[in-house]
Amino acid sequence: MAIGEFMTEDRQDRPDRVERRNVFARVLEVRPWGRRGLSSEEEQVEVELATLVEATYPEVLVEARARLGGKAAGGRAAAAYVLGLAAAGRPERVPEVAPALAAALPGESHPEVSVALAAALGMLWHPAALDPLLAMAGHGEARVRLEVAIALPGAAGDPPDPRVGSALLRLCGDPDGAVRDWALFSLGHQLDLDTPEIRAALADRLTDVDRGARHEAIVGLARRGDPRAVEPLREALTGREVDLDLIRAAAHSGDPGLLPALRRLRAVWSGDPVLVQEAIDHCDPRWRRWRDDRASWLSSLVEGAFRTLGRAVRVDLGPIGPDDLDPWLWVSWVAADGEQRTWCWDLDILVADRAEGEVELAARIVVADVDNAEADLAGLDDPGAGPG
């Protein structure tokens, strides 16, 4: 295939198209699809491209769709990327963009264009991109499979489509190390999924020859509290290249066997010592028992306070998200307007900061917060969320 097939770009000099043509020319010049670890200058170029696309929308959308069917591979790749930029963070534009990208897949044979199509679909961050991404998961070009592994979590939906987990499981065994790395990250870190099959796939990669893939397998298993992660995580914590993900993974694991490595790390860690101390705390059974006892005591005090006032509320303890290590206090009640309200409190902020360590005072603060919410719900930007 001649170089000119990719680089040739249609030249049209009608004044009303000059600005739009500049968008495609600039995209073709920098070819941003498939790039990772951008420098600050490259990130600025990405911002520039997005600004150019936005300034010429919606006319650029029409032209991009037309260029997807052009003869020059470079023009098709640039058009795909422009379409992705046009709909990035703009879900209302996805119905215009996703079908055009999907329609371009079946007849596309140029690997560079396929990479740009996969990258553009990933920018949509929308379930409409799922079917075309799944169709590309077995592509012969590793760079295309890499884009698919990166993009699938954003297209999975809520709850995640089970086909996403299946596709990522297959990509975890990809012959390309970078693809395995990203598939393991997507499966182990970005998706809130936990099945025996996922754990088995992560465990299979604990000895992967690719350092990045091995790292993601350790982190993914540790986040699920799987004991198979403990020994490789302990070894990783004593190595030369310890990062924040490993420290956070140790906290998620909570295994006391990690304490010696974490305590040695604390003495030499050049980063934020609070992060290492948090991991040590969460691996210490005595600290976890103190945390859980404090949370249970506060929950009981809050329930008793509302019961004394003759008010029906539901009090729960639980994390606010899958990455949270500690329980939050949740209070649900039927407000004066008849709507169900739920507020939540970070226990460290509530007890340690607002109540200065006094659990009884923290319980009274919760009651006061709910009272204030009842008195002035109309003035809250988000009446469904608590003060933190």
Structurally, how many domains does the chain consist of?
3
Helix ranges, the chain (H): 3-7, 15-30, 40-55, 59-67, 73-87, 94-104, 111-124, 130-135, 142-155, 162-171, 177-185, 196-204, 211-223, 230-237, 244-253, 259-268, 273-283, 285-308, 347, 359-375
> Higher-confidence residue: 42 or 259?
259
Q: Do residues 224 and 200 both lie within one domain?
A: yes
User: Are 260 and 294 in a shared domain?
Assistant: no
Note whether residue 127 is domain-resident: yes
Query: Of 2-6, 103-107, 355-359, which gets the smallest average pLDDT?
Result: 2-6
Residue 228 in any domain: the answer is yes
pLDDT at 95: 96
- Domain membership of residue 385 (yes or no) is no
- In the β-sheet with 314-318, what is the strand arrangement from edge to edge? 314-318, 328-334, 340-346
Q: If we measure between CA atoms, which residue out of 22, 115, 5 comes closest to residue 60?
A: 22
- If pLDDT is split at 50, 70 and 90, which confidence band does 379 have? low
- Band of residue 66 on the pLDDT scale cut at 50, 70, 90: very high
Confidence tier at 19 by pLDDT (50, 70, 90): low
Look at residue 15 and tell me if it is in a domain: yes
Separation of alpha carbons 107 and 112, rounded Å: 14
- pLDDT number for residue 235: 95
The answer to whether the beta carbons of residues 164 and 152 sit under 8 Å apart is yes
Interatomic CA distance for residues 381 and 76, integer angstroms: 44
Residue 383 has pLDDT above 60, yes or no: no
Residue-averaged pLDDT of the chain: 89
Query: Is 384 a domain residue?
Result: no
- Helix (H, G, I), strand (E, B), or coil: what is residue 345? strand
The tokens describing 7, both together, are 């680089």
> What is the radius of gyration, based on Cα positions, of the chain?
26
DSSP secondary structure letters along 40-57? HHHHHHHHHHHHHHHHTT
Q: What is the pLDDT of residue 21?
A: 66
174 and 291 part of one domain: no
Write down which residue in 155, 174, 206 finishes a domain. 155
State yes or no: pLDDT of 367 exceeds 80: yes
* Separation of alpha carbons 152 and 125, rounded Å: 9
Number of other CB atoms surrounding residue 80 within 10 Å = 30
Are 222 and 248 within one domain? yes
- Say which residue, 384 or 277, is predicted with more confidence: 277
Q: Do 98 and 12 belong together in one domain?
A: yes
Query: Do 211 and 171 sit in the same domain of this protein?
Result: yes
Residues 130 and 228 in one domain: no
Is the per-residue pLDDT at 5 higher than 60? no
As a whole number of angstroms, the distance between CA 59 and CA 279 comes to 52
Q: Is the pLDDT of residue 380 over 80?
A: no
Looking at residues 260-275, what average pLDDT do you find?
92
pLDDT value of residue 75: 92
Average pLDDT over residues 3-18: 43
Q: Please indicate, yes or no, whether residues 41 and 136 belong to a single structural domain of this protein.
A: yes
Of 47-51, 211-215, 252-256, 381-385, the range with the lowest mean pLDDT is 381-385
174: confidence class by pLDDT, cuts 50, 70, 90: very high
CATH code for position 105: 1.25.10.10
Whether residue 146 sits in one domain with residue 209: no
Cα 46 from Cα 386, distance rounded (Å): 37
Rounded to two decimals, what is the model's pTM?
0.82
pLDDT of 284-326, one tens digit each?
A: 999 999 999 999 999 999 999 999 999 999 999 999 887 889 9
Q: How does residue 32 score in pLDDT terms, banded at 50, 70 and 90?
A: confident
The two three-digit tokens of residue 64, written as one number = 């991009």
The domain boundary, picked from 263, 283, 303, lies at 283
> Which residue among 283, 318, 350 closes a domain?
283
The pLDDT of 256-273, averaged and rounded, is 93
Model pLDDT, residue 162: 92
pLDDT given at position 192: 82
* 386 assigned to some structural domain: no
Q: Percent of the chain beyond pLDDT 90?
A: 72
> pLDDT band for position 33 (50/70/90)?
confident
* Strand locations in the chain (E): 314-318, 328-334, 340-346
pLDDT per position as a tens digit, 135-146: 999 999 999 999
Q: How far apart are CA 87 and CA 229, in angstroms?
A: 39
Comparing CA positions, the residue from 85, 49, 81 lying closest to residue 67 is 81
pLDDT at 93: 96
Q: Which residue has tokens 């046009």?
A: 86
Range of the domain at 368: 286-379
Q: Is the same domain home to 221 and 295?
A: no
Whether residue 387 lies inside any domain: the answer is: no
Choose the most confident range, by mean pLDDT, from 37-51, 277-291, 366-380.
277-291
Is the torsion defined by CA of 23, 25, 29, 31 positive or negative?
positive
Question: Same structural domain for residues 269 and 293?
Answer: no
pLDDT at 385 over 80: no
From CA 367, how far away is CA 4, in angstroms rounded?
Answer: 71
| Residue 388 within any structural domain of the chain | no
Whether residues 261 and 332 share a domain: the answer is no
pLDDT at 214: 95
* pLDDT attached to residue 387: 57
d(CA 82, CA 25): 11
